[in-house]
Structure 1
Amino acid sequence: MTHQDLDGRPGVAAAVVVHEGRVLLVRRRVGEGRLSWQFPAGEVEPGETGEAAAVRETREETGLEVVPVEQLGERVHPDTGRLMSYTACEVLSGTARVGDAEELAELAWVALGEIPRYVPYGLFEPVRQYLDAALRT
């Protein structure tokens, strides 16, 4: 991943954090189009990998220490036009909380069957496939 959009904006890295049969979603204070609930995410800094950015953003936004386990894919997001990378992560330590109250309004641990209530427009297919397998009970 080049970690930049075609117009030079930094790419965005998202962490797909699964823990105890649920996935972590955060609700931004300011939505991006129809995006309200989403994965912990943020811009990739110069010299940083998408995986490292996903880990850093998760720590900054939620207080969780996570480790990347699988790169799920990348795309230009259809709503924001931003270059996105998605990394599956597992929790090493911590308790999820709103760590950046300026950016986040709340967070939720969501079961597989609840995801459409939070993300009614669907998920990026590789992420959906990963969550189907990781959250299936």
Structure 2
Amino acid sequence: MEQQTLIVVGAVVIRDGRVLAAQRAGPEALRGRWEFPGGKVDPGETPAQAVVREFREELGADVRPLHQLGADAPFPAPGRDHTRPAVLRLWRVELLSGEPEAREHLSLRWLNAAGLRALDWLPADVPFLDIVEPLLSPGAVTRP
């Protein structure tokens, strides 16, 4: 039987021309690297529901999913952290209430386009930088 692909969702929150990035606390191999906050989709949950739940759990704020950004990006080969094929699905979200706080991360940063590539991003998040960067430009045309 073929293993079902694990879907991991990430949230892209843009405010005042800056995007929110989160610094991983663990596992140890990933500690200190940066990601778009999110997590695994639970059984019976849609990716849109997962991005809302994960953002609330990890950052203590409420978001509304707007639309998926780009195509799914494959994770590195299955290993200790996940034993089946996995993809990262990025969602543009709107911050509804609360101020994001680093509950499960080392720190958070709001990055402008110039600072986006200065961080050590996780490999699965890197393909999305080309999609996110134009959204940070002054006067960028974005879907609601």
Aligned to 1:89: 93
Aligned to 1:45: 42
**Structure 1 segments (4+ residues) deviating >4 Å:** 31-35
Once the two structures are TM-superposed, the CA of residue 41 in structure 1 deviates from its matched residue by: 1.4
- Residues 81-119 of structure 1, C-alpha deviation per residue, up to 9 Å, x if partnerless? 62211111111111111123xxx1111111111011114
SS of the counterpart of 1:30? coil
Which one of the candidate residues 53, 72, 75 is aligned to 2:73? 75
SS of the counterpart of 1:16? strand
Give the TM-score normalised by structure 2: 0.74
| Structure 1, gaps ≥5 residues long | 1-5
| Structure 2, gaps ≥5 residues long | 79-84, 139-144
Aligned to 2:141: none
SS of the counterpart of 1:11? strand
Aligned to 2:15: 19
Aligned to 1:3: none
Within 2, Cα distance between the matches of 1:112 and 1:9? 32
Within 2, Cα distance between the matches of 1:50 and 1:91? 17
Please provide the CA RMSD for this pair: 2.5
Q: Is the 8 A contact 2:60 2:98 kept in 1?
A: yes
Letter of the structure 1 residue corresponding to residue 61 of structure 2:
L
Q: Is the 8 A contact 1:15 1:86 kept in 2?
A: yes
Higher gyration radius (CA) = 2
Give the TM-score normalised by structure 1: 0.78
Once the two structures are TM-superposed, the CA of residue 134 in structure 1 deviates from its matched residue by: 1.7
SS of the counterpart of 1:61? helix
Closer, same or farther in 2 for the Cα pair 1:96/1:33, shift >3 Å?
closer
SS of the counterpart of 1:47? coil
